[in-house]
Amino acid sequence: MQLPASRVEVMKFIGLKMDDLIGKFLKPIDTNWQPSDLLPESDSEDFLTDIKLLQESCKELPYDYIAVLIGDTITEEALPTYESWLMSVEGVDNDNEPQGWAKWVRWWSAEENRHGDLLNKYLYLSGRVNMREMETSTQYLIADGFDIGTGTDPYKNFVYTSFQELATNISHRRTATLSKQYGNNHLSKICGVIAADEMRHYKAYKTFVSKIFEIDPSEMMLAFEYMMKKKIVMPAHFLRETGVKMGQTFSHFSDAAQRLGVYTANDYIEIMESLIKDWNIEGMRDITEQAEKARDYIMALPARLRRIAERTRVPELEYEFSWITR
């Protein structure tokens, strides 16, 4: 279904200064960190000693922690899904405007690609992971795609990406903190640099939404409400392992993250509250009656969800993932 032309016009207007946006929110490629900056150098004489030390520092990482790290890695590695989906969003046109929004998508993907690459190589060296099982899950996740309910609407999509970038910032930041507590400073640094990227990306997407709010507040409000009613699903919600039905591994991954406190139901609510505050939802005036209702719905939502979150329990039993050898 074709969206009203105004969406495309709004996108066009915001995308006019694409190079400024890229310069503000993404880093120049030549000086950006690369995975090899944070990994043992395979052409160095010390390589084997370095791997030994790396494996030593991974020995004591708890089972749930390894599971979360693997799930995070697979989520990052399903980047082809995210890039191709963003390319299909209304207003993104790689054929006719390769220097417009399509450029943003390519440059963002190029930065994101380092995350899965770095985590994958680290896990491979760690000696704790059944790489074949992990790789099979990655291939499945890319093949299965995702269903996030945004359609090709840029407004809904930017709500989704704002939410998700902050969610990944939180989870990578927490895995960094935990790793330090477990005595693995190297891994902590790895998770930390990734978290910092996610923070920049979050700021980018929430800025896009802020700009849309300035131009088309009622429609933007309705899109925000739509996504909040629909609930933001995680990009890896179809996660599975060999012999497991589509999506069934995801809940175990998510339970492990909740048990560790890496990403919890409370975080979901806090992200929502950050967005509400940053987009000044409460103070939004001069919108249609329908958008006012949407605003009021959104404002009341965090308290409602908090009551539900208080009642939900996270399963204590550890699930045995095929990804983890020891």
Residues in contact with Fe ion by the rule CB under 5 A: 76, 112, 115, 165, 198, 201
In whole angstroms, the minimum distance from the beta carbon of 204 to Fe ion comes to: 10
CA distance 163 to 184: 29
237 is known as an active-site residue: no
CB-based contacts of 219-223 (< 8 A; 24+ apart in sequence): 219/6, 219/7, 219/155, 219/291, 220/155, 221/281, 221/284, 221/287, 221/291, 221/294, 221/295, 221/298, 222/290, 222/291, 222/294, 223/153, 223/155, 223/156, 223/159
Catalytic residue list contains 310: no
Residues 6+ apart with CB under 8 A from 43: none
Catalytic residue selected from 64, 77, 112, 241: 112
Angle at 38 (CA atoms; ends 34, 42), nearest 5 degrees: 95
- Strands (E) located in 3-115: none
| Residue 76: active-site member | yes
The active-site residue out of 33, 83, 136, 270 is 33
* CB nearer Fe ion, residue 165 or residue 255: 165
Catalytic residue selected from 172, 201, 237, 252: 201
43 is catalytic: no
Kindly name the residue from 115, 172, 237, 252 that is annotated as catalytic. 115
The β-bridge partners of 324 are 129
At its nearest, how many Å lie between Fe ion and the CB of residue 11? 20
90/198 with CB nearer Fe ion: 198
**Distance of closest approach, residue 105 Cβ to Fe ion, in angstroms:** 12
Tell me which residue has its CB nearest to Fe ion.
Answer: 115
Asked if 201 is an active-site residue, the reply is yes
62: left (phi over 0), alpha (psi -120 to 50) or beta: beta
* Active-site position among 76, 111, 255, 267: 76
| Residue 104 annotated in active site | no
Q: Which of 77, 165, 216, 225 is catalytic?
A: 165
- Smallest separation, CB 168 to Fe ion (Å): 5
Q: Which is nearer to Fe ion, 165 or 216 (CB)?
A: 165
Q: Judged by CB, which is closer to Fe ion: 198, or 225?
A: 198
Q: Supply the DSSP string of 161-220, one letter for each residue.
A: HHHHHHHHHHHHHHHHHHHHHTT-HHHHHHHHHHHHHHHHHHHHHHHHHHHHHHH-HHHH
Asked about 41 being catalytic, the answer comes back as: no
**Residue 156 is encoded by which pair of tokens?**
């809904």
Residue 225 DSSP SS3: helix
CB of 138 to Fe ion, least distance (A): 14
Contacts of residue 91, Cβ cutoff 8 Å, sequence gap at least 6: 7, 8, 10, 11, 12, 15, 101, 154
Task: Name the residue nearer to Fe ion (CB basis): 191 or 272.
Answer: 191
User: Is 60 assigned a catalytic role?
Assistant: no
Separation between Cα atoms, residue 130 and residue 120, nearest integer Å = 12
The answer to whether 64 is a known catalytic residue is no
Closest CA to 91 of 105, 80, 79: 105
Q: Tell me the β-bridge partners of 129.
A: 324
Nearer to Fe ion, 201 or 295 (CB): 201
Of 163 and 225, CB closest to Fe ion:
163
Least Cβ distance, residue 296 to Fe ion (angstroms): 31
Which residue is catalytic, options 153, 198, 216, 267? 198
Catalytic residues: 33, 76, 112, 115, 165, 168, 197-198, 201
